[in-house]
A and B are shown apart, each in its own frame.
Chain A
């Protein structure tokens, strides 16, 4: 690592094992002063409004291994400037953001401009700002406003602004613009955070964005990252696994945060195999919301291998086959949910729309992904990663189970805005029986006297007593 004093001097990223500087799986540690060291590859848990969805802060500390948090600034700046979190009383060394969201002191906080996954905003990005979506509507986040946020909120890691097109592939002209704008955002941010003329240089580590575009399209920008910007950036933030292939060897020693939305654990393993260090796994929460408990392990345990045919990747707890099943979600699992509860309870909680279902499933699913990451690190160090991945493909089916049940109510900031004349988002739940109530009153007599005799009713199991 670079030993020269640089903005990243309190952060060390050591690569412990890797076959090649790029496009190969690697194991490392990311150590930031005062924070828990993060063994990589590892999961970066996503937050919503500063909280890990469904898991309250005390349970995060006691029952999960969560030691880093991705926070999107757009969750906090919905109303007028300055947003409340800028006024959090904090000492010079404290992060107002950390205090505001009540995060533990030793967790690494990664600040990005937007939630992840972000929803597409109808307003366009501009030369000096990007469109964001808050809980009260869309607005623009000025590039200098974001720099100010980094300075004031003091996250451990700040992810640079990028001009992205969400929800559709960008046109040819737009791609050029994306590169130019992102280049400008990055240059300005680095200058304002760490420039020669800045009296108080930011202590946040800057992860420069790499656009989800071809190598050739952003080569000018990538060249500058490698050259002019190199001393001031501490890592790279990528938005698709293909970008891992465009990282030059000169940038190979920087930690790579991959903000992607893999569709299965197989894809997570592929991202690791391409050299991702910090990964996001949105399907983790997607499964919790859908009532699915993840059920896979890497490297594949012998017992699973012995089963012959490919195993499902998760368990749909909405299914009535679990209604009386008192086994844990996953046999032998050490997570809080599996230690304390059984499948029948989950089936009930989901049907009853109790929040505890999502809280417990979220803890379980976090545990499963943690184990996957730990297994991947061991496997890479042993040098058996490639074979282990192959075995994983043989042992498990390719896709996560389909969602069958309802999840929690989605908020506006979690789903794209509906266009005009859209059907309502959530079915109406109150007053479902209103129109029945009249009919019930009218036909009271026929209700009490069904069209059958006593024998018929008895046959129906009508009068059986237990």
Chain B
């Protein structure tokens, strides 16, 4: 891209008015011939559940093969919350996340380029997926404004003396003496986001999308965000330098409006990205709505591409979303909740800080074979609930141990989901799963799950 064009994008005053106030006419209808989208992945479809829409497949990526459906732990800033990458490997993880927004601020693009990408930077030789930074705009920043050019925001890291001495990244714009209080104003455009993700070198990169809370009442704004996400996808495809080694995924937007979601699917599928994500969910919407959106979208997506539902991570949500035809999930919840002393087990989540666990000398999860739960005579550590109770939220080691367990649990859960689909017994798996959580009490089963599964042809309440 030429410098003048980039300048125009960065400076509202210099941008033609039409660009700043997008209209429907600006949408993708009059799009010229699209750039061909090479793919750096192969998607092997193995089995489909004969009742639900669940699928089992294998995703071959540049840094190894990933069995789908899969949960991806989130190593936000290039480190999975205190674990070494050998510990992460031990959980069986083949694909984990980094956040573009965070890596763009620290260490910055310059460092990533100098080191040769995020794999080398963090010493991880398996696959990485990076989000675009769009979600952090709504989740972290009060100060962000979204315009057609990109997202303008004030970095929360600035003003810290630690940060000032870092070489500033050329990808972010630095307005030193704009005013006394505002030290750095940054702008994230689709081009910046892709350029950063190209520097990161992740195996799967995400388009920058215009994310707004699904609970937003402003329908016009939701539509604008959807249309803009489509336009930004085109800019991302244009800006993507390494389609032969990094897979760009589009992100379906459109809030909870199924009509908008359909339009978005149509527009984005036409652009033929190697994979497809369903975004803008897990923002506090009702679970029924969430399921409807996933179900609608997967119905419109091609069979031969991986489908990634962003930000979903409770085991219940995952097992239902798999039944609705989704393949990939990520969430910080399993690792974050571990740091607060919560262990994920078959029966739900245990808050190990509770006093009753102080003298509970059983393993975190009897059925788990992670390094913490395995007894010492099987090469494990023999960690007990009582010990986690003793150190959790007090020693970093407590976080490390429970994070290992939770990540291991999630990956093992995904493994058994996959196995069940391969053996075409996924409905039975679902019944067992919900029975475990609610101790067999069907009256407690959540309506949204029962409803969503009924929608794909299975009755959870049946025996």
Contacts and interface: CB of A to CB of B under 8 A. Distances in A.
Interface in A56-99: 56-59, 62, 76, 79, 84-85, 87-89, 99
Interface in A328-371: 336, 340-342, 344-345, 347-349, 351-352, 354-360
B439 interface: no
Given A56-B400, A356-B82, A433-B143, A443 B179 contact: yes
Interface in B1-52: 1, 3, 6-7, 10-14
Given A340-B85, A432-B159, A440-B154, A58 B175 contact: no
A444 interface: yes
B192 to A, nearest CB: 9
Contacts of B120: 326
B182 A447 contact: yes
Nearest to A454: B14
Contact of B397 (A54, A79, A345, A348): A54
A450 B12 CA distance: 11
A458 interface: yes
Contacts of B154: 433, 436, 440
Interface stretch (B105-113, B296-304, B322-330): B105-113
Contacts of B167: 320, 323-324
B6 A351 contact: no
B77 A354 contact: yes
Interface in B392-444: 394-401, 404
B463 to A, nearest CB: 39
A428 interface: no
A345 B121 CA distance: 6
Q: Which of B82, B123, B154 has the most CB of A within 10 A?
A: B82
B179 A324 contact: no
A325 to B, nearest CB: 9
Nearest to B392: A49
A49 B78 contact: no
Contacts of B394: 49, 135, 411
B20 to A, nearest CB: 10
Contacts of B80: 356
Contact of A51 (B182, B358, B395): B395
Interface stretch (A100-108, A155-163, A203-211, A224-232): A100-108
Given A354-B81, A440-B182, A463 B107 contact: no
B319 interface: no
B13 A449 contact: yes
A354 B167 CA distance: 20
Q: Which of B12, B156, B394 has the most CB of A within 10 A?
A: B394
A323 B396 contact: no
B337 to A, nearest CB: 16
Contacts of A360: 84
A55 B109 CA distance: 30
B115 A356 contact: no
Given A76-B390, A340-B85, A436-B181, A356 B79 contact: yes
Contacts of B390: 49-50, 76, 84, 100
A303 B432 CA distance: 65
A84 B106 CA distance: 43
A52 interface: yes
B114 interface: yes
Contact of B359 (A84, A347, A444): A84
B381 interface: yes
A56 B397 contact: yes
A307 interface: no
Contacts of B174: 460-462
A196 interface: no
A4 interface: no
Contact of A52 (B11, B142, B389, B397): B397
Nearest to B167: A323
Given A56-B404, A84-B359, A355-B81, A102 B107 contact: no
Interface string A25-61: 0000000000000000000000011111111111100
Interface string B348-392: 000000000011010000000001000010000111101101110
A465 B397 contact: no
Contacts of B178: 447, 450-451
A351 B163 contact: yes
A101 to B, nearest CB: 7
Contacts of B106: 348, 351-352
Interface residues of A, number: 78
Contacts of A436: 143, 154, 181-182
Contacts of A79: 358
Given A105-B376, A351-B163, A450-B178, A462 B401 contact: no
Given A324-B115, A348-B111, A454-B11, A466 B171 contact: yes
Contacts of B284: none
A460 B6 CA distance: 15
Nearest to A412: B394
A320 B109 CA distance: 15
Contacts of B3: 463-465
Nearest to A351: B106
A439 interface: yes
B383 A57 contact: yes
Contacts of A458: 7
Contacts of B179: 443, 446-447
A48 B107 CA distance: 32
Contacts of A301: none
B145 interface: yes
A333 to B, nearest CB: 15
B270 interface: no
Nearest to B382: A102
Contacts of B398: 51
Q: Which of A49, A55, A463 has the most CB of B within 10 A?
A: A463
Interface string B168-195: 0011011110110110010000010001
B440 to A, nearest CB: 30
A448 interface: yes
A351 to B, nearest CB: 5
Nearest to A356: B79
A457 interface: yes
A179 to B, nearest CB: 35
B461 interface: no
Given A433-B156, A440-B143, A355 B82 contact: yes
Given A355-B400, A440-B154, A58 B87 contact: yes
Contacts of B371: 58
Contacts of B376: 105
Q: Which of A336, A406, A457 has the most CB of B within 10 A?
A: A457
A437 interface: yes
A356 B83 CA distance: 6
Closest 9 CB pairs of A and B: A355-B82, A463-B7, A56-B400, A51-B397, A356-B79, A352-B77, A465-B6, A354-B79, A320-B165
Given A49-B391, A102-B382, 7 more contacts: A55-B397, A85-B386, A102-B383, A352-B102, A449-B12, A462-B10, A463-B11
15 contacts: A56-B400, A58-B404, A102-B387, A345-B121, A349-B78, A354-B78, A354-B81, A356-B80, A357-B79, A358-B396, A433-B143, A444-B145, A462-B7, A465-B1, A465-B191
